Chain A
Amino acid sequence: MAAADQLAPPAMLDGFARRHRLRAFEALPWLMALAAYFVFPDYLALGAQILATILFALSLDLVLGYAGIVTLGHAAFFGTGAYTAGILAANGWGEPISGLVAAAAAAGAVGFLSGAIILRTTGLTLLMQTLVVAAMLSELANKATRITGGADGLQGMDVWPIFGAFRFDLFGRTAYIYCAAVLMIGWLLVRSIVYSPFGRSLTGIRENVVRMHAVGSPVRRRKLVAYTISAALAGISGALIAQTAQFVGLGALGLERSGTVLIMLIIGGVGQLYGAFIGVTLYMIAQDRFSTIDPVYWYFWIGLFMIFVVIFARGGVLGLIERARRQMRRPS
């Protein structure tokens, strides 16, 4: 085995060693985002919301899909970010980029502190604790009316132009491009983490935590780092939506938001990086359409859609695509 140092990796491992390289299909979401900007100029506000929410779902995918940390409290970080950016903008500091940085720092800190306590547990216990963290923050925001506006929501945000030049316009053009740019940075970060040795070790933790301990992995530290990064990204997502909507409500910290982002990710496909893009887009467009066509019962249709996904499309849309591809490759 000593001679191994001089060996080049055999050709069969080329694919394995190169899987981090960008593939052509990965340009697709961005080309579509670009096309949507020109094709649907009336829907750019919705588009900006979708882009920001994709970042939220992407942050969830990092912990749930890769590290196998189940959570129903990810809105805790989304809301922390939203309120951080919102409170800054409502109190005389409306500079958006530094607002994002502050939101990331605050949400990351909440993720680190709560994670240090709750990540000792797993499974249902952990699920309950993530719920509790989000519920506590929500109640805090509800009670601190003088800072957060309480149940009425945070009013009077004044967000300055980006780089002092690009004003947030009524049509959502600036918001759309702003959200797309921030999402792209977040996506690059998550993507590089996923393909890094750290990211692979998260996958190992998801697949078999007992063995990860046995190969000497500092499992708890790994999970905490992933959780903190994910929280910071969720915080940026919350800040994006706060800045573009110029409003933050208690819903930003609510259980419904945690649950909805989970559903969106499941629809798209968990642990596959692009599930967030597909799931959020499908869900939010469906929500927009259904609520226009059938304003009273639109949630029923969403529910029906969800049941369909769970029964027929396990692994989400990406799982469906993968199975179809395998079918086609198989000679009939």
Chain B
Amino acid sequence: MTQAGLETQGLCKSFGALPVASDINFRLESGARHALIGPNGAGKTSFVNLVTGMLKPSAGRILLSGEDITHLPQAARVKRGLVRTFQISALFRRLSLIENVTLAISEREGAAGDLIRPAGRYREVIEEGYALLEALGLAADALRPVNELAYGRQRLADIAVSLGLKPKVLLLDEPAAGVPSGETGAIIDMIERLPADIAFLIIEHDMELVFRLANRITVLVQGSILVEGAPQDIAADAQVRQVYLGERRPR
């Protein structure tokens, strides 16, 4: 077996008596297109928070490219290429789109510790930010404050900020949540065109989107992995239909 991009071993966490993660053994292979699905409250976002370091696990290990990162602070995990997006747009809302992206790039480049040289003189950072926005079709809005953009564009901007960090592993937490159905196309396109060397794990409720983007699916129920497999197997799995897809089946 090749080394996994991201791996968790026996990951546990509970809020009081409520377990949000119980003994999760999960592997995200390098370059994977993987989806994490499950009913509301299954612990999907908590899993992302655990992996990225926003939450501390009560037991278990987290490995990134084979390195134990269980006890590293968030920033150190980001430096190693583990990056997330947010379910609810978590942008610098009053700042311009280009500034949102350059903030991320400056941190990655280590420029952000500089107190003296003006940010505007870091031409390479601004150029990279602009090129990123251009590649994602967002360049026209570069100077607009993010809170003036349509919600679908804000979701794209959220991913753009994360891509500015050059992730190896990207955790996409419901990238299309709250976006009108007419605008999801652009988000799907963006995710589909992610470079092959970025492994991603997408958390999503929209099954159409999941089956389109992922070639492997993990189903999480009440903080544990119920089943994992290829999309067609998951779609055919009786258990999954019962706990998850069953919710939506017309009766």
What residues of chain A have their CB less than 8 Å away from a CB belonging to chain B?
1, 3-5, 7-10, 12-13, 15-21, 192-193, 195-201, 203-204, 207-208, 210-219, 222, 225
Contact = CB atoms under 8 A, between A and B. Distances in A.
B115 A196 contact: yes
B91 A198 contact: no
B143 A215 contact: no
Nearest to A6: B127
A217 B75 contact: yes
B48 to A, nearest CB: 10
B111 interface: yes
A216 B75 contact: yes
Contact of A216 (B92, B93, B98, B107): B107
Contact of B74 (A200, A216, A222): A216
A83 B104 CA distance: 42
B98 to A, nearest CB: 6
B143 to A, nearest CB: 6
A213 B54 contact: yes
A318 to B, nearest CB: 15
A81 to B, nearest CB: 21
B130 A20 contact: no
27 contacts: A13-B143, A15-B143, A16-B99, A16-B120, A17-B121, A20-B120, A21-B120, A193-B115, A195-B119, A197-B111, A197-B114, A197-B117, A198-B113, A200-B106, A203-B92, A207-B92, A208-B92, A210-B54, A210-B86, A214-B52, A214-B84, A215-B107, A216-B74, A216-B78, A216-B79, A217-B107, A218-B75
B119 A200 contact: yes
Contacts of A217: 75, 107, 112
Given A4-B127, A13-B126, A216 B165 contact: yes
Interface string B50-93: 00101000000000000000000011111100011010001111
Nearest to B94: A207
B112 A9 contact: no
B128 interface: yes
Contacts of A3: 131
Contact of B98 (A16, A18, A21, A193): A16
Contacts of B76: 216
Given A17-B120, A200-B119, A208-B92, A213 B74 contact: yes
B36 interface: no
Given A20-B121, A196-B115, A215-B78, 15 more contacts: A4-B130, A4-B131, A192-B116, A193-B116, A197-B112, A197-B114, A198-B113, A198-B115, A200-B112, A201-B107, A214-B74, A214-B90, A214-B162, A215-B104, A215-B162
B127 A196 contact: no
Contact of B127 (A7, A195, A197): A7
Nearest to B139: A10
B207 interface: no
B119 A196 contact: yes
Contacts of A20: 118-121
Nearest to B54: A213
Contact of A1 (B93, B96, B132): B132
A225 B116 CA distance: 13
B135 interface: yes
A210 B139 CA distance: 25
A13 B74 contact: no
Contacts of A18: 120
B12 interface: no
B116 A9 contact: no
A124 to B, nearest CB: 22
B108 interface: yes
B93 A13 contact: no
Contacts of A214: 52, 74, 78, 83-84, 86, 90, 162
Of B54, B74, B83, the most chain A CB neighbours within 10 A belong to B74
A196 B128 CA distance: 18
Contacts of A8: 127
A17 B126 contact: yes
Contacts of B127: 4-5, 7-9
Contact of A201 (B98, B103, B124, B165): B103
A218 B115 CA distance: 15
A201 B95 CA distance: 12
Contacts of A19: 120
B197 to A, nearest CB: 12
A204 B102 CA distance: 11
A199 B118 CA distance: 9
A8 B78 CA distance: 28
